[in-house]
Amino acid sequence: MIDSYVILNIENQVGYIEFFHPSHNSLPTDVLGKLQEAIINAGNDDAVKVIVLKSGGDRTFCAGASFQELIAIDSEETGKVFFSGFANLINTMRKCPKFIIGRVQGKAVGGGVGLASATDYCLATKFASIKLSELSLAFGPFVIEPAVKRKLGLSNMSQLSMNATNFKSAEWAKEKGLYVEVFETIEGLDDAVKLFSEDLAKYSPEAMKQMKSVFWSGTEHWDDLLIERAAMSGKLALSDFTKETLKRYK
């Protein structure tokens, strides 16, 4: 079995950040930290003009947070630390001075939807259906909610959250604003990602930096908000209802 990894490859001024975890590309705390570090490094690297965020394999894009770490939460502090992983990553992505292009080749669940929503421009295949499963686990998508709502709008985000066991199709996600284009094959997706990101890399870095700042205007309070949401989720993880619910999924 291949171990988890986060790697950065630079090609034609495009920094390709790829993450992988053998459990459906889930994101335990250590992988979240490495992803955050890779985005910071690429954002500070003059050799990188545009960033592409992708996952390994040809099936699931990202299954969200680590279930093993979730069930191991035993205090409000450990819960806050656990949920802060996604809070810190989303904040790093929105504050990165370079555009981040999402390449979503397969299903995105929970935090995986949050990850896709935090990109600046997202392309996907027809297999990239999405689901917010948190409510079925006795949680809510509190940390990723601002990012998902920013892309999908409140009504669509609410529907997705309440239908916690049902996937919405990639075409639905495109129609609602998460994906820009949906492709029939991974090969078609990769060709489009390469063409778009390399064209984008030819533009003025300063202009793109300022445009990104404009695009994310009004989210400055997320530094505090997402950590508050992480603490909320961490506390909820200790409830008897949540613990009994999680036992059924072990």
Across the 250 residues of the chain, what is the mean pLDDT of every consecutive 10-residue run? Answer: 92 98 95 97 98 96 93 92 96 98 98 98 98 94 98 97 97 98 98 98 98 98 97 92 83
pLDDT score for 243 = 86
pLDDT score for 167 = 98
Phi and psi at residue 112, to the nearest 5°: -65, -35
List strands edge to edge, sheet with 121-125. Answer: 5-11, 14-20, 50-55, 100-104, 121-125, 181-183
Fold of 5-185: 2-enoyl-CoA Hydratase; Chain A, domain 1 (3.90.226)
Question: Are 25 and 112 contacting, i.e. CB atoms less than 8 angstroms apart?
Answer: yes
- Angstrom distances, CA of residue 207 to CA of 22, 92, 122, 137: 39, 20, 20, 43
Q: 68-86 in b/e burial notation, b at 16+ Cβ within 10 A?
A: ebbbebeeeeebbbbbbbb
Question: Are 123 and 188 contacting, i.e. CB atoms less than 8 angstroms apart?
Answer: no
Q: Which residue has the tokens 């996604």?
A: 86
pLDDT score for 249 = 72
Distance of alpha carbon 88 from the chain centroid: 11
Distance of alpha carbon 158 from the chain centroid: 18
**Residue 16, H or E segment:** strand 14-20
Residue type, 182: V
pLDDT score for 247 = 82
